[in-house]
A and B are shown apart, each in its own frame.
Chain A
Amino acid sequence: MKPAPFTRHVPRTVDEVVSALAEFAPLDGRILAGGQSLVPIMAFRMARPAHLIDINEVEGLDRLAVDGDYLSIGARVRHGAFHKPVIDGPLGKLLAFVVSHIAHYPIRMRGTFCGSLAHADPASEWCLVAATLDASLVVKSVRGERIVPVTDFLEGIMSTSLAEDEFLAEARLPLLPDDTKFGFYEFSRRAGDFAMSAALVTYRLVDGVIADAHVGIGGAEDRARRILEAEDVLNGNAPSPDLFVAAGEAAANAIEPLEDIQTTAEYRCDLVRAVTRRALERSLL
């Protein structure tokens, strides 16, 4: 339970981060943010980075603020920052609701929003939020900066489009219109465990019918993503129990379920059907 030997680098600025990354990434270097996923994996020696570039001392990366029409979340912003709504309106409430499902309190005080995205665990609640809300990710390297839509960022199980020398400096979540409704539901074996399926939905009611529906599913496929088939079922229709059942059915039919020794594809689809409908039911509470 002791990690393999490594060298820790402690940059103070973003420039130092990217130059350290340029130098050490080719030598098996990785970013260390909250360490709540990376450090346990290192303790099991399943990951053996030779260099860790620790960004916990970098100035400015703890910035959490509204810039125009999006919420900017810096690479050092911890899960715990969202325990209370960070902004007025539905987005702050949504994040505060979702965050309570992430692991346990001590982990939330250390782990980071961007770290979750960069780690890209399929069951990550923040990956689900980013996917459902069409987040943009600000990626930096010595080569400059690029802004990547979440659909191009999340590539698979613990896999992203980050190049070796790039780090995720900031996540941008679009602000939600004030009349946005949202619902979240996740299924896990115990409180705080990885979700075996989770659903996040947002939509607006325009003249009593659903508009701009986003249905995100996490924990069920190799990455969190919006399920357009379920959104199509919802848009243009008034909320009803039957509609929500139909949306759950559409989501279950649309996914390519992950399987493991305990969880068959059929069971994963059962869960997706249930969590989707329940997230929708909760959106009306």
Chain B
Amino acid sequence: MTVHTKGSGTTWVGRSIRRLEDPALVTGRGRFTADMPATHWVRFVRSSVAAGTIENITAPERAGIVTAKDLAKLKPIRPMLSKFNYVAVGQPILADGVVRFTGESIAAVYAPSKDQAEDIADQVEVEISEGAPLIDAMDALAEGAPLVHADTKHNVIVEGRIATPGFEDVWKTAHKVLHVEARSHRQNATPMETRAGHAAYDGSTGRVTLTCTTQMPHLTRTAVCDILGIPESDLRVVAPDVGGGFGQKMSLAPEYVLLVWLARKLRSSVAWTEDRRENLIASFHSRDQHVQLEGAFDKSGKLLALRGDIVANIGAYSCFPTTCGVEPLMALAELPGPYDVRAYDCRSRGVMTNTCPMAPYRGVSRPVITFVLERLMDKAAAAFGIEPTELRRRNLIDKFPYTSATGLVFDDGSYKETMEMAIKAIDLDAFRKRQKIARDAGRYLGIGFATFSERTGYGSPAFAARGMEITPGFETVYLTIDPSGFVEARIGSSPHGQGLRTSLAQIIADEIGIDPEFIKVVHGDTDRSPYGWGTFASRSLVLSGGASLLAAQKIRAKLLKMASHFLEAAPEDITLQSGSAHVIGTDRSVTIASMARAAYHQTHIFKGEIEPGLTETGTYDPSGTFSNACHVAIVEVDIETGRVEMEKFLVVEDAGLIINPMIADGQVHGGVAQGIGNALLEEIIYDETGNILTSTLADFLPPTTHEIPEIELHHVETLTGNSITKAKGLGEGGAIGAPAAVISAINDALSPFGISIDEMPATPQRIRAALRSSGKLPSNGKLA
């Protein structure tokens, strides 16, 4: 069941119109990078060891092969951060003498077909003198640990600390102190389409077109050109249809740099399609964190102070453009979540290891910190002997704007309202009765609540606080009505499955009075789109939507002025609707198409009062807005096997004004499914030698439809002044709240055993091991 506060009406915004992108996608006419023919196919020879020195590379005779020595003139990927004791480390495009993780590219071979390239790569012999690999961040922190990069002093390359004044004084007043030691294991975002790139050299202009599965076409262009030392005008980057990214495709893939370099060298076209094994071992990983969190509560259960220590395993290199600070620093700034706590002392470190580099993954650190913080709240509720929701009720922020202990400013939200709605919709009292009856019969049901905030749609001021050399922010939209009367919006965002073309068309349609089906949204091509930051961080609807609205407002003003000329009426007496301008209360009208024609071909009739053409630009760079939600999971834990069965999932989401409810629901559904996978199934496992044991989808386990329960969804719409469309972002929220809710539900189910599952994913093996350790597990399945 899905309940909307809004779903129809006279505006396009708020309606579940069908996605304009789908007809091509569902009839097999989508265009993906791997579909493109190429003269040469590339296969990367990857390291089979996690740490070592390359002694020798031997290739078969006449093989087309590239190694680091061919790339001596290329700069390494060296993302910069100007704060937080950041140590810049460089990543060579191909391993240059040293290998630092299993799967790192050592050489690239090329041949006329994929098969031949793989056969040749197979015959390339690499001799590596193996070193001792560091896999776990805690080992890399140890005194005297080997260095992943010899030119650094230690393996901590980013470290931040926030301590509010007078913290210790507040801490001393605590009535109860609760502690959580949590572990989030490593995960892979696993988009359906793996990475792929195709670089084609144009002999007449010397330009290269790089088609690739990126979330950031312009940043890819900038990065590749900086590394190769060529002007940006010599490279066009195209992101065609992209089959999911989830952050994994927002960081620069060194492979793409190689493709552009090779296309220029061969003066031809070269292509590479990553296979699933490469994706699982050598594309980016995430969420590998150790978090210690302590909370000090007063007598009433009010959270007074939080003390935390976060260690993020950032792998062997720092990702571009966000840098490896993205996980530890996000965790540091946002750990207090949606709770009113004034005293905060937290240290957060990013630690290098001989593992695949970390990069953003849907939610970035927030799925982890939300899970840890919600564990703390649940433990506190148990210590105070109250419902977990009651403890949250006493601590959730409810006055806005709210400035957090870490300096974040929360705009209007509905933290308490969404939770109260969720309690009612799930019928908590009825569940508790059902839970008791089931327990008496030896069945263990549990319910878990997660309340959280999701910082979305933030512009350059928010990113500037991180001190990144590259500070993302604004979005620009070029909006044109061409002489045919059709509308083209060229955007800098780069959607890859989110339905943004449809949502933006709805926003524009309401402003200019032209139906969405006549509005084409163009993205993902640096030759066609304005310089923009792409799609990540739940930003595109807010930023590109805002820029679209600003551009559409300008077009609207111009259309009204033109209509005023044609209809001999004052602009304020004219409306734009269904493709025409109408004088209110009369039958006088003129079509927008004919006005568009005149704007280009009959400019003389405006006698110089109206500029020729019909293109306007909108640029939007807001401070950001916080979405919020309450997630509820109901599970049953099979105490004999440790298996968790998802019975039900419920979300009350507040993402401001909902532009297209169907698309919004889809975002939440997908995020929740990913979050359930994170909570229960997905884990990249390294053995002690640094080899990955989960290099296929038989071992790394994304959820299937069988593992995802019914998801009931409700929306609250808090309209914020921080977004001109009133829409907040919601791309990541599903994935942020779901793990916390699921793990909370598991712990609720297992509360009779006095254990705490503080590890993600909560696999059956881990749950069963915890149950065994409780000593309360009888052989007949019933509690002693």
Complex CA distance for A193 and B697, rounded to whole angstroms: 10
Q: Answer yes or no: B114 CB below 8 A from chain A CBs.
A: yes
Expressed in whole angstroms, the Cα–Cα distance for A200 and B772 within the complex equals 26
B701 touches A44 (CB 8 A): no
- State whether the Cβ of A266 lies closer than 8 Å to any Cβ in chain B: yes
Contact yes or no, A262 B780, CB < 8 A = no
Category for how many chain A residues contact B:
20 to 34
- Which residue of chain A has the shortest Cβ distance to B696 in the bound complex? A44
Residue-wise interface mask of B (629-645) relative to A, using a CB-CB cutoff of 8 A (1 in contact, 0 not): 00000000010111100
Of the candidates B277, B681, B701, B769, which one forms a contact with A267 in the assembled complex, judged by CB atoms under 8 Å apart?
Answer: B769
Is chain A's interface secondary structure helix, strand, loop, or mixed overall? Answer: loop
B704 in contact with A191 (CB, 8 Å)? yes
Known: A191-B706, A194-B698. A267 touches B114 (CB 8 A): no
CB distance from A246 to the nearest CB of B (A): 10
Question: Nearest chain B CB to A49's CB is how many angstroms away?
Answer: 15
In angstroms, Cα B768 to Cα A266, docked, is 10
Best-buried of B115, B276, B696, B764 by chain A (most CB within 10 Å): B764
Q: A1-B276, A267-B765, A270-B641 are in contact. Are A193 and B685 (CB under 8 A)?
A: no
In A175-231, which residues have CB < 8 Å from any B CB? 187, 189-194
Whether B701 lies near A189 (C-beta < 8 A) is yes
Interface centre among A1, A4, A249, A271 (most CB of B within 10 A): A1
The reply to whether the CB of A284 lies closer than 8 angstroms to some CB of chain B is: no
Inter-chain CA distance A45–B706, complex, in Å, is 31
Mask of B738-780 contacts with A, CB within 8 angstroms, 1/0: 0000000000000000000000000111001100100000011
Contact B687 A193 (CB under 8 A): no
Given contacts A2-B118, A5-B119, contact A273 B640 (CB under 8 A): yes
Select the residue from B640, B681, B779 with max chain A CB neighbours within 10 A.
B640
> Is A262 a contact of B685 with CB atoms below 8 Å?
yes
B768 with A267: CB separation less than 8 A: yes
In the complex, the answer to whether B704 meets A192 with C-beta atoms within 8 Å is yes
Q: Is B703 an interface residue (CB 8 A)?
A: yes
Contact A190–B693 (Cβ < 8 Å): no
Which chain B residues lie closer than 8 Å to A273 at the CB level? 640
B122 at the interface (CB under 8 A from A): yes
- Nearest-neighbour CB distance to chain A for B530, whole angstroms, equals 38
**CB-contact partner of B122 in A45, A191, A270, under 8 A:** A45
Knowing A5-B119, A263-B765, A264-B765 touch, does A190 contact B701 (C-beta < 8 A)?
A: yes
In the complex, whether A245 has a CB less than 8 A from a CB of chain B is yes
A251-272 interface code vs B (CB 8 A; 1 in, 0 out): 0000000000111101100110
- Chain B: CB-nearest residue to A245: B780
Flag B92-114 by CB within 8 Å of A: 1 or 0 each. Answer: 00000000000000000000001
Query: Does B527 touch A at the CB level, under 8 Å?
Result: no
A274 at interface by CB-CB < 8 Å: yes
B707 touching A190 by the CB < 8 A rule? yes
Tell whether, in the assembled complex, residue B115 and residue A2 are in contact, meaning their CB atoms are under 8 Å apart: yes
**Residues in chain B near residue A4, CB distance under 8 A:** 119, 122
Q: How large is the interface on B (under 10, 10 to 19, 20 to 34, 35 or more residues)?
A: 20 to 34
Are A245 and B779 in contact, CB atoms less than 8 angstroms apart? yes
Whether A2 pairs with B703 at a CB distance below 8 angstroms is no
State the CA gap A249–B640 with chains docked (Å): 13
Q: How far is the CA of A44 from the CA of B699 in the complex (A)?
A: 14
Residue of B at shortest CB range from A263?
B765
How far is B626's CA from A179's CA once the two chains are assembled, in angstroms? 65
A1 to B118: give the CA distance in the assembly, Å.
8
The answer to whether B693 and A261 have CB atoms under 8 Å apart is yes
Tell me if B275 counts as interface (CB < 8 A to partner A): yes
Complex alpha-carbon distance, A2 and B41, angstroms:
13
By the criterion CB–CB under 8 Å, are A274 and B765 in contact? no
Across the interface, name the chain A residue whose C-beta is closest to B276.
Answer: A1
Q: Which residues of B (667-697) have their CB < 8 Å from a CB of A?
A: 681, 685, 687, 693, 696
Interface residues of B in 609-646 (CB under 8 A from A): 638, 640-643
**Interface pair A187/B122, CB less than 8 Å apart:** no
- Min CB gap B714→A, angstroms: 29
Q: Chain A residues with Cβ under 8 A from B638's Cβ?
A: 274
The closest CB in chain B to the CB of A189 belongs to B701
Report A-chain residues with C-beta under 8 Å of the C-beta of B685: 261-262
Distance in angstroms between the alpha carbons of A189 and B92 in the assembled complex: 39
* Chain A neighbourhood of B687, CB < 8 A: 261
Given the known inter-chain contacts A2-B118, A266-B772, please indicate yes or no for A274 contacting B640, CB distance below 8 A: yes
CB contact between B763 and one of A5, A192, A262, A274 (< 8 Å): that residue? A262
Contacts of A192 in B (CB 8 A): 704, 706
Does A189 contact B681, Cβ atoms closer than 8 Å? yes
Cα of A1 to Cα of B763 in the assembled complex, Å: 29
Chain A residue numbers with a CB within 8 Å of B698 are: 193-194
Do A187 and B643 have beta carbons less than 8 Å apart?
Answer: yes
Q: How far, in angstroms, from A100 to B580 measured CA to CA in the complex?
A: 59
Q: How far is the CA of A264 from the CA of B768 in the complex (A)?
A: 11
Q: How far is the CA of A5 from the CA of B116 in the complex (A)?
A: 9
Interface residues of B in 692-722 (CB under 8 A from A): 693, 696, 698, 701, 703-704, 706-707
How far does the Cβ of B154 sit from chain A's closest Cβ, in whole Å? 29
For residue A187, which residue of chain B has the nearest CB? B641
Q: Across the two chains, which residue of chain B brings its CB closest to A262?
A: B765
Q: B642 contacts which chain A residues (CB < 8 A)?
A: 267, 270
Closest CB of chain B to A44's CB: distance in Å? 7
Q: Which residues of A contact B681 (CB under 8 A)?
A: 189-190
Cross-chain pairs A/B with CB under 8 angstroms, 28 sampled: A1-B275, A1-B276, A1-B277, A2-B119, A40-B696, A44-B696, A45-B122, A187-B641, A187-B643, A189-B763, A189-B764, A190-B704, A190-B706, A191-B707, A245-B779, A245-B780, A262-B685, A262-B763, A263-B765, A264-B765, A266-B772, A267-B642, A267-B765, A270-B640, A270-B641, A271-B641, A274-B640, A274-B641
Given contacts A190-B681, A191-B704, A262-B765, 7 further A-B contacts (CB under 8 A): A1-B118, A2-B114, A190-B703, A245-B779, A245-B780, A261-B693, A264-B765
Task: For the complex of A and B, list the 9 residue pairs with the smallest distance between their C-beta atoms, beginning with the closest.
Answer: A191-B706, A1-B275, A274-B640, A2-B115, A2-B118, A274-B641, A267-B765, A262-B765, A187-B641
